[in-house]
Amino acid sequence: MSVIIRPASSAGFCFGVERAVSAAADAARRFGTVYALGELIHNKDVIDELALLGVVTIAEPAELPLGGVVIIRSHGEARGVYKSLLERTDEGNILDLTCPFVSRIHKIVRESARAGHQPVIIGDEKHAEVRGIAGQAESCLTYKNYGDFCANTQHLVDRPLDIVFQTTLSGEILKEFQNFAKKSFTSPKIYDTICNATKCRQEEAERLSKICDVMVVLGDSGSSNSRQLYEICREFCGRAVFGARLSQISGELSEIARTVSDHNNNVTIGLTAGASVSRRAITEVLNYMTEEFKATVQEEAETHEPAFSAEETAGDTQEAPETQDTADFAQLVDDSFVTARAGEKLTGTVIAVSKSEVTVDIGTKQSGIIPSDEVTSDPTKSPEDILAPGDAVECYVLRVNESIVTLSRRRLENEISWGEILEAKKERRCVSGVITEANKGGVVTSYNGQRVFIPASATGIARGGDLTPLLNKETNFYIMEVDRQKKQIIGSVTGISADERRARVKQLWAEIEVGKKYTGKVTSVTKFGAFVDIGGVDGLVHVSELSWDRISNPSQVVKEGDQLDVYVISYDPEKRRISLGHRAPDGDPWAKFSKQYKTGDEAIVKIVKLSAFGAFAELMPGVDGLIHISQIADHRVTTAGDVVAVGDEVKVKITAIDEDKRRISLSIRALFEIPAEDRAYEPRKRSKQADTIVYDTESNFAFNTDYDDEE
């Protein structure tokens, strides 16, 4: 006894199903919870696994939470359903996984209706795919098969018909329409939209059925393509076993194994599976059968699954041939398509955009797909930010297979980007970018989507200085080195800084004038003032120009790094010197004093300093006067400290004001009014050789006259 198991090479997930399952799992990992509008595939085990990841199945748009992420499965949906989803969430939250082959049917139906033709769908009107197709135009008519169509379309004799087919139908249905053009309908146009993956699966199932004693068909009873496989196998094979998983068919398989063993027969068993069956489920059944039957596995030659048949026009209408043979017709249709080759550039039209990919019509049999990470080099943007349905897009072809052309917009964008980078380096053109990383070695930015490294020594920051303040700031730089092969770009800020500084300095000296105001940065502070950068040139603000208040050190007013409003007092272009002022004229305390006081007025003052020749008193902030020691009391004193102390508030009389030199003489003694007849001594006479002391209110020096005794 020998048992041979022959598994079909075309069994299991088709492109559309594999794409949908993978994208749904990825979306669940990214968003936590996503909602599939209807069961993603006809496979309960896969649905349960996706549910564990966070893919929740809902039956209608009303069940979608507001703002939720929703998946349109590979069957596609009617336009009205899409509108209902938009009422509950943003367009960017709709992940459209409609199979590209189904999307092509949607396009055919919409264009047919716009042209005033009659769209006709051959398929099960209750099937999700057919409902989605019918929902593309209000005028669609649906018929189950050729007989149903012929029995109900007499009234359409004089109307142009566009006929499409449910993708999972048997290829035999299409054959029934081969002679349709000979009927009395007006210019019918037939589109072979039956998925070639389905055709290949059916053809292989038929071939195996004819040479096998038993056929095992894996698939859900709710799957149209799986039921079609089972019907084909039943027709051509003596016994067919049908079930979704091993647990459903293991009993029947064991019974067959016992029968084979009892009769010591030589048996060949075929194994195929529908498009919604995972490779794991197929392997599980195959291993069980190998052990149960003690069988040998004989692999089938690989069957390719082209995206569309030769007769599929993919939206380019093709009238059914009347006299032309099939081979010639197929050749004509093939010739109408563009051939995509890896490495070349193509221009297509965007059909649909989702978070995971962009579907593009590039004029080939296959659908063009741009994965999300191939749309743009900018990590901050999603496909929806870059492209929209109807946009023309130029792409590189990355890979080509029977069902899909994988494209990249990013790589073409990169080619253009590198060209501009090399040009910027050659022309020594200033470019800019935002600093995104900083470490001891330098900082990282980007230009035209490419990473640019700026060494610490070229950032303009002092050696060993902190680079983190540069983070998230737009920075101008030059491109110094480019290595396309290693994808390395080196930039420099110092070069651009030097050029900018020279330009600013030249402009400053061309426009400077006395009285002109600037806002500058304090670069250093000394005992005699502060140096301020007003645009590439440092000017000096003398300590006397920093404040109207009396200060002993400039650091009392400013520190390095401060922003300071200044004005030009004088400048010397030859010596490159600029004198600046900071004190605002309207803040001059002397002007306030002059309005408030005059000679002879009395005032309450505060003692701020004592000296050998008297005491300095503050009349108001910024205005001091001198009380000479001879005027500090109505009697002779040795030191001012014998009468007053710093901080004391005393009453004085203003005895003299020098407006030009801004000097004020004060007297306490003048407040004592002693009649001459009451004096007990003669007035002192002024010495011929009187010592003179000068007091400058601005420089903390005094002027007045001392008196010597006649003795």
For the stretch 455-463, contacts whose Cβ atoms lie closer than 8 Å and that sit 24 or more positions apart, written own/partner, are 455/490, 455/492, 457/494, 458/490, 458/491, 458/492, 458/493, 458/494, 458/495, 459/493, 459/494, 460/493, 460/494, 460/497
Residues 531, 552 within the same domain: yes
Which residues carry out catalysis? 129
Q: What is the pLDDT of residues 214-232, one digit of tens each?
A: 999 998 888 888 888 999 9
Q: What is the mean pLDDT of residues 450-474?
A: 87
Q: Can you tell me the distance from the alpha carbon of 612 to that of 629, in angstroms, rounded to the nearest whole number?
A: 8
What is residue 692's predicted lDDT score, i.e. its pLDDT? 40
Q: What is the pLDDT of residues 361-378, one digit of tens each?
A: 787 766 788 888 888 877
Full residue range of the structural domain in which residue 646 is found = 596-705
What is residue 363's predicted lDDT score, i.e. its pLDDT? 73
Amino acid at 92: G
Distances in Å between the Cα of 482 and the Cα atoms of 339, 421, 451, 479, 486 are: 36, 8, 11, 8, 9
What residues contact 581, with CB distance under 8 A and at least 6 apart?
A: 541, 545, 566, 567, 568, 569
Q: Can you tell me the distance from the alpha carbon of 592 to that of 490, in angstroms, rounded to the nearest whole number?
A: 60
CB count in 10 Å sphere of residue 548 = 19
Give the residue, 497 or 275, on which the prediction is more confident: 275
| Assigned domain for 673 exists | yes
Give the residue, 121 or 676, on which the prediction is more confident: 121
Residues 698, 655 within the same domain: yes
What is residue 309's predicted lDDT score, i.e. its pLDDT? 39
329 SS3 class: helix
Q: CATH number for the domain including 609?
A: 2.40.50.140
Q: What is the pLDDT of residues 64-115, one digit of tens each?
A: 999 899 999 888 999 999 999 999 998 888 888 888 788 889 999 999 999 8
Q: Which residue's structure tokens are 């409902």?
A: 131
Maximum C-alpha span of the chain: 162
CB count in 10 Å sphere of residue 346 = 20
Distances in Å between the Cα of 188 and the Cα atoms of 47, 158, 162, 318, 322 are: 41, 10, 6, 9, 11
Amino acid at 539: G
What is residue 403's predicted lDDT score, i.e. its pLDDT? 63
Residues listed for the chain: 711
What dihedral angle (degrees, nearest 10) is formed by the CA atoms of 595, 601, 602, 603? Answer: 10
Of the listed ranges 47-51, 278-282, 450-454, 577-581, the one predicted with least confidence: 278-282
What is residue 143's predicted lDDT score, i.e. its pLDDT? 92
Residues 611, 582 within the same domain: no
| Assigned domain for 356 exists | yes
Residues 690, 602 within the same domain: yes
Contact 567, 552 (CB under 8 A): no
What is residue 359's predicted lDDT score, i.e. its pLDDT? 84
Percent of the chain past pLDDT 90, that is, above it, reads: 21
| Assigned domain for 476 exists | yes
CB burial of residue 415 (10 Å; 0-12, 13-18, 19+): exposed
Percent of the chain past pLDDT 70, that is, above it, reads: 85
Q: Which of 7, 17, 5 is nearest to 225 (CA)?
A: 17
Residues 571, 654 within the same domain: no
Number of domains in the chain: 4
| Assigned domain for 13 exists | no
Q: What is the pLDDT of residues 689-700, one digit of tens each?
A: 444 444 443 433
Q: HSE of 161 in the Cβ direction (CA atoms, 13 Å)?
A: 25
Contact 35, 58 (CB under 8 A): yes
Residues 668, 606 within the same domain: yes
Q: Can you tell me the distance from the alpha carbon of 681 to that of 424, in angstroms, rounded to the nearest whole number?
A: 96
Of the listed ranges 181-190, 255-264, 551-560, the one predicted with least confidence: 181-190
Question: How does residue 1 score in pLDDT terms, banded at 50, 70 and 90?
Answer: low
Residues 615, 695 within the same domain: yes
Q: What is the pLDDT of residues 165-215, one digit of tens each?
A: 998 887 778 878 766 655 656 667 888 888 777 778 888 899 999 999 999
What is residue 185's predicted lDDT score, i.e. its pLDDT? 65
CA angle 633, 634, 639 (to 5 degrees): 35
**451 forms bridges with which residues in the sheet?**
446
| Assigned domain for 656 exists | yes
| Assigned domain for 47 exists | no
User: What tokens appear for 24 in the block?
Assistant: 């749904």
Residues 601, 700 within the same domain: yes
Q: Can you tell me the distance from the alpha carbon of 163 to that of 109, in angstroms, rounded to the nearest whole number?
A: 9
Does the pLDDT value for residue 675 go beyond 70? no
User: What tokens appear for 77 in the block?
Assistant: 């949906």
Does the pLDDT value for residue 324 go beyond 90? no
Residues 432, 461 within the same domain: yes
What is residue 681's predicted lDDT score, i.e. its pLDDT? 41
Strand residue runs (E) in 123-255:
141-143, 161-165, 189-190, 214-218, 239-243
Amino acid at 63: E
532 SS3 class: strand
Q: Cα-atom radius of gyration of the chain, to the nearest Å?
A: 48
Which range of 21-25, 98-102, 290-294, 648-652 scores highest in mean pLDDT? It is 648-652
Q: What is the mean pLDDT of residues 461-478?
A: 87
What is residue 622's predicted lDDT score, i.e. its pLDDT? 79
**Residue 219, phi then psi, degrees to nearest 5:** 165, 155
Q: Can you tell me the distance from the alpha carbon of 389 to that of 480, in angstroms, rounded to the nearest whole number?
A: 40
Q: Can you tell me the distance from the alpha carbon of 305 to that of 217, in angstroms, rounded to the nearest whole number?
A: 19
What is residue 508's predicted lDDT score, i.e. its pLDDT? 85
Of the listed ranges 49-63, 113-127, 155-169, the one predicted with least confidence: 155-169
Q: What is the mean pLDDT of the chain?
A: 80
- Residue that finishes a domain, picked among 370, 386, 412: 412
| Assigned domain for 305 exists | no
What is residue 708's predicted lDDT score, i.e. its pLDDT? 39
| Assigned domain for 352 exists | yes
**DSSP character for 660?**
T
Residues 653, 609 within the same domain: yes
Helix (H) / strand (E) element for 29: namely: helix 15-31
Q: What is the pLDDT of residues 646-673, one digit of tens each?
A: 999 999 999 999 888 888 999 999 988 6
Q: Which of 656, 660, 672, 661 is nearest to 704 (CA)?
A: 656
Q: What is the mean pLDDT of residues 632-642?
A: 88
Residue 138 CA to chain centroid, in angstroms?
A: 39
Residues 700, 619 within the same domain: yes
What residues contact 367, with CB distance under 8 A and at least 6 apart?
A: 100, 101, 103, 104, 307, 351, 359, 360, 361, 403, 404, 405
Of the listed ranges 246-260, 276-290, 294-308, 409-423, the one predicted with least confidence: 294-308
Sheet holding 189-190, edge to edge: 141-143, 118-122, 161-165, 189-190
Q: Model pTM?
A: 0.43
Does the pLDDT value for residue 30 go beyond 60? yes
Q: What is the mean pLDDT of residues 257-263?
A: 81
**DSSP character for 362?**
-
Q: CATH number for the domain including 435?
A: 2.30.30
- Residue that finishes a domain, picked among 387, 412, 437: 412
Residues 390, 439 within the same domain: no
